[in-house]
């Protein structure tokens, strides 16, 4: 039996307290969807009541709308079953995952268990409840070493993935393909993110890495705010214009809007669709550093060090299928990404624990 207040457009967002999840929820609420968010707090901070994620408390304040939250772990199948008994979901956006590439090599079992078994639990609960519209947060990492650029959705996947995290994303994609083939009543959307950066323009929500950041832009922002001493630039001898790695950085608000755009195709039955979410152009590490210095007015000290294992020289996507089929296109440029990230970082130097 559906809880009161539910209607045809109730979206379940897993990992809803996290960086991508919280930005998606903000856009969903603004677009008129109702949201149930779940998170296990593995990578998110609770508010002062200890019950709600601080990120979602801020999303509610920013949107002046409410979302329902439950602390649920994807490994707890009973809790998941319960969730589907309580609510009738229109669809699921599955963002919950462990995502630190380096850590995934150190503790692969935890990554396979959380990201693969956790997704299986979610799919089983959804299947049993007859909720068969599913959006999966995947990653351009499934393309491995690019064989050509820009990378389109037809590019081979699963070859040359250098870490367990990336393999979990690829495995889940395969599971979803098999599931949809076995039961044509499923509609599944796989979104392959390039490099999400930035924050909501209010600076109230953003990426809050626990411990030293693994990714470039949170690291750059923490150097600019004085929390870290200097950036290590991993290699300046790549075959790129300035020798440093080139990536397709996508503003997290554009990415979140991509999810909302994707939900529109659920109005018709389609089976399974895959979309790249990126800008279609790449910037080097040094270009990112100088854009951030300009946006923040702060120097970003850096040192060139040897390449990081597993990195590729250049990676950027072709987002034209998403544009054609979803009517989605990135609206924000590099200056917006840097300005909004700086707003978040300077207003919240220690992330969500900086104070409310
Ligand atoms: C970007 C560029 C680095 C840190 C990873 C995952 C991918 C996705 C996003 C998601 C590269 C350089 C970085 C630093 C540096 N994960 N760099 N100094 O490697 O493209 O993608 O994050 O959940 O699956 O693989 O992103 O931000 O780590 O690196 O010089 O301290 O910055 O070498 O060229 P990447 P990144």
In a domain, 352, yes or no: no
In a domain, 3, yes or no: no
Question: Ligand 1 atom 27: the closest Cα is on which residue?
Answer: 215
Output the six-digit token pair for 195.
Answer: 């490099």
| Mean pLDDT over the full length of the chain | 96
Position 1 scores a pLDDT of 38
Q: Would you say the CB of residue 220 lies under 6 angstroms from ligand 1?
A: no
In a domain, 227, yes or no: yes
Q: Is 4 a residue whose pLDDT tops 60?
A: no
- DSSP β-ladder status, 187-193 and 133-139: parallel
- What DSSP designation does 17 have? T
In a domain, 82, yes or no: yes
In a domain, 333, yes or no: yes
Atom of ligand 1 nearest to the CA of 231: 31
Lowest-confidence region among 20-29, 44-53, 222-231: 44-53
Output the six-digit token pair for 19.
Answer: 């960086």
* Closest to 96 in 3D by CA, of 81, 78, 111, 106: 111
Which pTM does this prediction carry?
0.97
List C-alpha distances in Å: 306 to 30, 226, 233, 319, 324. Answer: 44, 24, 8, 31, 40
Residue 158, by phi and psi: left (phi above 0), alpha (psi -120 to 50) or beta?
Answer: left
Position 250 scores a pLDDT of 98
pLDDT bracket for residue 355 (50, 70, 90): low
Give me the DSSP letters along 107-166. SHHHHIIIIIIHHHHHHHHHHHHT--EEEEEEEGGGG-S-SSSSB-TTS--SSS--SHHH
List C-alpha distances in Å: 344 to 74, 120, 154, 163. Answer: 29, 35, 36, 30
256-280 residue pLDDT tens: 999 999 999 999 999 999 999 999 9
For residue 169, the CA-to-ligand 1 centroid distance in Å is 16
Q: Would you say the CB of residue 308 lies under 6 angstroms from ligand 1?
A: yes
Atom of ligand 1 nearest to the CA of 139: 24
For residue 278, the CA-to-ligand 1 centroid distance in Å is 15
Atom of ligand 1 nearest to the CA of 195: 9
Q: Domain of 236: which CATH number?
A: 3.40.50.720
Q: Which residues contact 42 (CB under 8 A, 6 or more apart)?
A: 98, 114
In a domain, 4, yes or no: no
Q: How many CB atoms lie within 10 A of CB 26?
A: 26
Q: Which residues contact 63 (CB under 8 A, 6 or more apart)?
A: 26, 29, 30
Q: Is 7 a residue whose pLDDT tops 50?
A: no
In a domain, 1, yes or no: no
Q: Is 5 a residue whose pLDDT tops 80?
A: no
106-156 residue pLDDT tens: 999 999 999 999 999 999 999 999 999 999 999 999 999 999 999 999 999
Q: Is 289 a residue whose pLDDT tops 70?
A: yes
Position 49 scores a pLDDT of 84
Helices (H), the chain: 19-30, 54-63, 77-86, 101-106, 108-111, 118-129, 164-182, 216-224, 252-263, 285-296, 320-326, 334-347
Question: pLDDT > 70: what percent of the chain?
Answer: 97
Q: Is 255 a residue whose pLDDT tops 50?
A: yes
Give 32-36 contacts, CB < 8 A, sequence gap 24+: 33/9, 33/90, 33/260, 33/263, 34/5, 34/6, 34/7, 34/9, 34/10, 34/67, 35/10, 35/11, 35/67, 35/68, 36/10, 36/11, 36/12, 36/67, 36/68, 36/69, 36/70, 36/83, 36/87, 36/89
Q: Which positions are catalytic?
A: 165
Task: For the chain, give the number of residues.
Answer: 356
Distance CA 244, CA 233 (A): 8
Question: Ligand 1 atom 8: the closest Cα is on which residue?
Answer: 195
Average pLDDT for residues 230-247, to the nearest whole number? Answer: 98
Question: Ligand 1 atom 10: the closest Cα is on which residue?
Answer: 99
pLDDT bracket for residue 356 (50, 70, 90): low
pLDDT bracket for residue 6 (50, 70, 90): very low
| Probe residue for ligand 1, chosen from 104, 141, 215 as the CB with the greatest number of ligand atoms within 8 Å | 215
The number of folded domains in the chain is: 1
pLDDT bracket for residue 3 (50, 70, 90): very low
Q: Is 27 a residue whose pLDDT tops 90?
A: yes
For residue 324, the enclosing domain spans: 10-347
| Probe residue for ligand 1, chosen from 103, 164, 195 as the CB with the greatest number of ligand atoms within 8 Å | 195
pLDDT bracket for residue 44 (50, 70, 90): confident
In a domain, 30, yes or no: yes
């Amino acid at each position: 039996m559906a809880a009161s207040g539910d209607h045809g457009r109730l979206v379940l967002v897993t990992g809803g307290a996290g960086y991508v999840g919280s930005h998606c929820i903000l856009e969903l609420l603004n677009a008129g969807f109702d949201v149930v968010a779940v998170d296990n707090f593995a990578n998110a901070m609770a508010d002062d009541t200890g019950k709600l994620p601080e990120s979602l408390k801020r999303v509610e304040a920013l949107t002046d709308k409410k979302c329902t939250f439950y602390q649920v772990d994807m490994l707890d199948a009973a809790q998941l079953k319960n969730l589907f008994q309580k609510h009738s979901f229109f669809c699921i956006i599955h963002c919950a995952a462990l995502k630190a590439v380096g850590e995934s090599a150190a503790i692969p079992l935890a990554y396979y268990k959380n990201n693969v078994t956790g997704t299986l639990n979610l799919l089983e609960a959804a299947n049993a409840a007859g909720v068969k519209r599913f959006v999966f947060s995947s990653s351009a990492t499934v393309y491995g070493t690019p064989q050509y650029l820009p990378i389109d959705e037809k590019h081979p996947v699963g070859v040359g993935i250098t870490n367990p995290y990336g393999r979990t994303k690829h495995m889940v994609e395969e599971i979803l393909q098999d599931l949809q083939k076995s039961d044509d009543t499923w509609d599944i959307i796989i979104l392959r993110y390039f490099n999400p950066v930035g924050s909501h323009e209010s600076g109230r929500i953003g990426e809050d890495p626990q411990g030293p950041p693994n990714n470039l832009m949170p690291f750059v922002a923490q150097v600019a705010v004085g929390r870290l001493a200097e950036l290590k630039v991993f290699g300046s001898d790549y075959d790129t214009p300035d020798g440093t790695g080139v990536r397709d950085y996508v503003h997290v608000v554009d990415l979140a809007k991509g999810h909302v755009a994707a939900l529109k195709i659920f109005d018709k039955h389609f089976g399974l669709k895959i979309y790249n979410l990126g800008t279609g152009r790449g910037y080097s590490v040094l270009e990112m550093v100088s854009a951030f210095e300009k946006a923040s007015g702060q120097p970003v000290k850096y040192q060139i060090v040897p390449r990081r294992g597993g990195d590729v020289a250049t990676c950027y996507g072709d987002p034209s299928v998403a544009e054609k089929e979803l009517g989605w296109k990135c609206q924000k440029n590099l200056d917006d990404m840097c300005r909004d990230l700086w707003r978040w970082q300077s207003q919240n130097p220690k992330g969500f624990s900086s104070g409310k």
